[in-house]
A = this chain, B = another copy of it.
């Protein structure tokens, strides 16, 4: 049985080598999975980025979020120019392995617009409102 399928019914506390999971993650055609960053203090969802296997390992090894920039086609240590780094608190994969949830200690604003969160466009009444 594929690993992710077997983990669906596994008991709490079951452990598996990370490398085995990383080999089975259904990366998209660009080799990426979606990574959500959530503020560990406020619980606010800050942004959604993308990671490949190298970015996942780099994030774990360095303890700071490192994404893969699809537009620039390069690794992107979040905050390396702005200083607005994301210190890793925890990392979870979802049931089908194609999404990651990072909880982070965010230094400064997460968004390049200097807003706390990238999700500042609220849909209401057939309009989009800047928060």
Contact = CB atoms under 8 A, between A and B. Distances in A.
Between A14, A101, A122, the greatest number of chain B beta carbons within 10 A of the residue's beta carbon is seen for A101
Q: Which DSSP category, helix, strand, loop or mixed, fits chain A's interface? A: mixed
B45 A14 contact: no
A131 interface: yes
A1 interface: no
A29 to B, nearest CB: 8
Given A38-B45, A123-B18, A130-B14, A118 B99 contact: yes
Copies of this polypeptide in the complex:
2
Contact of A34 (B48, B112, B131): B48
A90 interface: yes
A47 interface: yes
A122 B90 contact: yes
B48 A99 contact: yes
Given A12-B130, A99-B118, 16 more contacts: A8-B113, A12-B131, A14-B130, A18-B123, A36-B36, A47-B99, A48-B98, A90-B122, A91-B122, A92-B121, A92-B122, A92-B123, A94-B118, A94-B120, A97-B121, A99-B119
